[in-house]
Amino acid sequence: MSVEQYQRKVNSLDKEIADLEKKKAEEDRKASDNHRKASRVSVSKNASESMIKSKMRQIENYEEKTRKAEAA
């Protein structure tokens, strides 16, 4: 391979690394957003059982999204 071919390969790999880092940053942001949303779900002390279950499902949904974003 010529020097130019190696340089093109290096440039291509650098671009791929930058793209992956950008995707990772986006997934980290999504995980952070979902974690924040889960921590902000509140239930009043007079909430009905169905409301409590609904809020728990909402929290679990945010936590699942957080796990998926962190795994990506």
Per-residue model confidence (pLDDT) at position 71:
86
Residue in 37, 28, 26, 25 with CA at minimum distance from that of residue 63 = 37
- Digit-coded pLDDT (tens) for 20-67: 999 999 999 999 999 999 999 998 889 999 999 999 999 999 999 999
Using N-to-C axis directions, what is the helix angle for 49-71 and 3-40, rounded to 10°?
Answer: 170
3-state secondary structure the chain: CCHHHHHHHHHHHHHHHHHHHHHHHHHHHHHHHHHHHHHHCCCCCCCCHHHHHHHHHHHHHHHHHHHHHHHC
Q: Do 63 and 30 form a contact (C-beta atoms < 8 A)? A: no
